[in-house]
Amino acid sequence: MGKRKKVNLEGDGGMESAGMMRWLLTYSDMLTLLFALFVILYSMSAVDESKLRALAMALGQAFGLSGQVSVLSSGAGTDTKPVTMPESQVQLTTIKERVQKWMSQKKLEREVKVRFNERGLVISLMTDRILFNSGSSELLPRTKELLSDIADLLRTTTNPIIIEGHTDDTPITNPSIKSKYSDNWDLSTARAVSVLKYIIRRGISPDRLSAAGYGEFKPLVPNIDDINRAKNRRIDIVVLKADLINDRANESRELPLPSEVKIKERIEKENLETLTF
């Protein structure tokens, strides 16, 4: 018997169909990529500025730039200008880095804390065994050494500084202490003033400084145990931000009295009537 010849059921047409399928897959991939590219381009050209600004403000607060817009800029308009970090914020950031380096060198991480808040840079000094004896506003020898170093760091900026005294909620009952300080208000204020006067002697201009005592009414943590109370007994040295300084300067401007405003309006009205007739 002769050998049977195998027949290719798919024939040459099958090879062509397979090749055509591969070409269609490549073409569909290219269309998908082009579609994704145009979607991205469209999204970049239609930025929601309100959402972008909200995101920028949130990022700014996360990085200690409360009240400042992030360096993100919108591509929706040609007149939009990127917002850069203000010079005052750069100075405060530099001071914070120097304070942290000084804390590390002196091994003061437990006694000194530094942070940003909505007002500016806050350097917190724990009062226990580092600044004052219990119930006293007299600076200890070690305190003067630390304040001298801090004054050197603060001399590089011209921002106003607030010295704030804080205590825990333990009332003053010792008769000898109570004869000097009737309550925690008096004690916290006296401690703040002692720090203020010393850094003035170390070269900080008095017109940059102010002092305040808050007693136990602005705690960092609840006064529930001795550990938390120790955290609340502190001196805060607050270096104000530039925008807050400008706001306070505008608020401090003398406003005209109501009577002066009425007189001015009356004069302007009379002048207008004279010109009319």
The whole-angstrom distance between residue 100's C-alpha and the CA centroid of its chain comes to 16
Residue-range domain boundaries for the chain: 24-62, 87-251
Instruction: Kindly give the parts of the chain with pLDDT less than 70.
Output: 1-21, 44-88, 129, 243-277
Helix axes 242-251, 87-106, angle to 10 degrees: 120
Would you state the pLDDT for residue 102?
94
Copy the structure tokens of residue 178: 């109570």
Q: Which residue in 96, 43, 103, 36 sits closest to 74, CA to CA?
A: 43
Model confidence pLDDT, tens digit, residues 211-249: 999 999 999 999 999 999 999 999 999 999 875 555 555
Kindly report the pTM of this predicted structure: 0.61
**The CATH number fitting domain 87-251, selected from 3.10.20.30, 3.60.15.10, 2.60.120.330, 3.30.1330.60:** 3.30.1330.60
pLDDT at 242: 73
Question: Which pLDDT score is estimated for 74?
Answer: 45
φ, ψ of residue 92 to 5 degrees: the values are: -65, -40
